[in-house]
Structure 1
Amino acid sequence: MDEQTIHFYDRNAEDLRRSYDSADLTDLHDLLGYRLRPGWDVLEIGCGTGRDGLFMASLGCRITAVDGSSSMVDLTRQTFLKAGETCCAMEAALPLPPGHALLGKAFDAVVSIAMLMHVPEGDMVLLAEQIGSLLKQKGLFICSFCSGERQGDDRLYVNRDPDQVRGLFEPTGFRLLSQGQNRDGMGRDLLWHTIVFERISHLNA
């Protein structure tokens, strides 16, 4: 994730939590409930305030939550603690540096909500490769990202077309399971694209 974007989240974590807690996430959570299974090990990249991670934990999933913003990681820990749930939350931004402990793990699903638009174009190929390496065979990658008019703040926003995202992930060992879109849950002039991929092979397989 872009460093300037990380600093923005560090500075504004509490204000963002108040905004995000008002968002209508019914469609997203319905999708997660349909795709995820109890007992799965799930990696959430860009965990934010922990709201989505807590929902996935309520489905019976074991959550590893990472975010490039230390302030957001703290909020995730608070969210889980308040609800009496457990998760492994750590500060980390994908793509990960060589030798990072997470790169030796394998998950049933990797979930990325509102993160892909903050990734610089030059990091996207490595990001796709790392997500593939973090998934078990037939593991799921669920991503949701927005396009549309941006707010005037310091975050990096890359307007990514869903077909471009498919064109990036499918050649690296993924196949498309579903693709959809919905309006913004906070009433902003944004369109959210949600794509579900299944990992079918590693690059070196």
Structure 2
Amino acid sequence: MTQPEPDLRDALLAAVPSLRAFAISLSGQIDRADDLVQDTLLRALSNLHRFEPGTNLNAWLFTILRNLFHSEYRKRRREVEDPDGSYAGRLKVQPEQGSRLDFEDFRTALAKLPHDQREALLLVGASGFSYEEAASICGCAVGTIKSRVNRARFRLASVLNVNDVDDLGPDSMTRAALQSSV
């Protein structure tokens, strides 16, 4: 960035108190106002080639400050102040694509089950029928339904590599990522 001409530099510096007063009236906070003035001066210096000599420098600077304030105001309306990170800490969400992939894996594994086991598992596990009701629907003994459901669950767990409760839910890499963000 090139240095402004001495007269222009003096005019910029002379405008600072008025810019600061205007920024305080807009923001209502002294520290915020000082940041606005600093951003205004930086923006003015980086766009000095756009300033037309002979026009009102103060009007140009005040316009920059006002536009910065309103842009930032619109931006801040969409943001949530979270200085200690507690709000962000509560926003952990498991990625959706993992559950979709898990469901597709489950559907594929379910399709590999023998028809009688798949039918028994869907009646008892998915549809909520009791063993007695499922036996009645299938026209077999209650013990047969219990056996089919048990074998179907065991086979699904084997195909899906589910060895214990920790294998349900997010995979180990997703769990590690979620825990490391705390």
**TM over 0.5, yes or no?**
no
TM-score by length of 2: 0.24
TM-score by length of 1: 0.22
Q: Which has the higher strand share?
A: 1
Q: Which has the higher contact order (CA 8 A, sep 6+)?
A: 1
Q: Which has the higher helix share?
A: 2
